[in-house]
Structure 1
Amino acid sequence: MIEILETIRDFTETGGQVLLVIGALIFVMWLMILERAMYVFVTHKQYKKNVIAKWNARAERSSWNAEQVRQAMISRVSLKLGAGIPIIQSLVALCPLLGLMGTVTGMIEVFDVMAISGSGNARSMASGVSKATIPTMAGMVGALSGVFASSWLSRTTKSERAKLEDALMMERHI
């Protein structure tokens, strides 16, 4: 366990301070993604059953007023399903931007070393180059993983809304 923590510490030192910010951002983003996935797989199913049961309990399901109630129910379910997805998408967009910031700060360090040493000594520039490339890589990995997860969440939200509309529509014509 200590070796793993030392490896992580060495990696973050090699990548610079921006890497810590990227790591925290990715951690928060994945916490939100996991919360949404848990909602979809656990809580949503029961909520959907309750909404369908509430619709079936209505005596009258064919008037304009009943249609408005149906639309309101569907909208509430959609809002609950889609909660947090725009924030997740914003965090996904922030990952490569922070990686770019890490690239810029790493290159500034390279230029500082070049200015101080007066030459292009490769050994003295190596830490700056790693501080330039590692945050970029971390930002892109975080963004790619977040893109896949957020697109899955968006598709699932649309699919679940359509399934609920179908379920309530079928119940409406009985």
Structure 2
Amino acid sequence: MLYLIELWESVRGFMATGGDVLWLVAISLFLMWVLMLERYLYLNFVFPKERKAVVEKWHAREDKTSWHAHRIREAWLSQAKGQLTARMGIINALVAICPMLGLLGTVTGMIAVFEVMAVQGTGNPRLMAGGISMATIPTMSGMVAALSGVFFSTRLNAKLKVSAEKLQDSLSHH
């Protein structure tokens, strides 16, 4: 329990050093990872059952060659692709927003440095250090958050594409 309290205090200290913008980066990162985790769970646990049901419905059809049958197949594939790629736009937007939030932290940190310089002058580097950390920590955090999101969302997109193609291949049409 003491370890958790110490961990929470160190996180709070880091967040305070980075300024309020760091909380926005953290919220964006948390939301991005929750959505990516949901997509991974959907892909590995829910979609296989849905895929099986669609394939069974297709193979149960007697007519697989008519124009009408092809439109039904395309509609089922389109629905499956839509369900697979749901929320990927939000994930990609959050990946793109993280570095921008980091840059917002840079701007607010530099404003804090300029405020200290205006009030105290340039003779007190200790007071300016707080603003400089408010400028650099959110930038670093935004970039790290975006890099983690880019890597995993790219892998997730590739897996989603492969799953959609496998479904399409399993719905034979002659």
TM-score, normalised relative to structure 2: 0.95
SS at match of 1:61: coil
1:43 aligns with 2:46: yes
Percent identical across equivalent pairs?
A: 49
Distance in 2 between residues matched to 1:137 and 1:130, nearest whole Å:
10
Given that residues 89 and 150 in structure 1 are in contact (C-alpha distance below 8 angstroms), is that contact kept between their aligned partners in structure 2? yes
Residue identity matched to 2:77: I
SS at match of 2:34: helix
Structure 2: runs of 5+ lacking an equivalent? none
Given that residues 85 and 153 in structure 1 are in contact (C-alpha distance below 8 angstroms), is that contact kept between their aligned partners in structure 2? no
Give the match for residue 27 of structure 2: 24
Give the match for residue 95 of structure 1: 98
Residue identity matched to 2:116: V
Q: How many residues align?
A: 171
SS at match of 2:171: helix
1:164 aligns with 2:173: no
Given that residues 92 and 147 in structure 1 are in contact (C-alpha distance below 8 angstroms), is that contact kept between their aligned partners in structure 2? yes
Alpha-carbon displacement from aligned partner over 1:19-68 (angstroms, at most 9, x marks no partner): 01110111011100000000001001111001000101101111111111
Distance in 1 between residues matched to 2:61 and 2:122, nearest whole Å:
81
Give the match for residue 68 of structure 2: 65
CA RMSD for the aligned pairs?
0.9
1:4 aligns with 2:10: no
SS at match of 1:124: helix
Distance in 2 between residues matched to 1:148 and 1:36, nearest whole Å:
15
Alpha-carbon displacement from aligned partner over 1:86-109 (angstroms, at most 9, x marks no partner): 010001111000000000000010
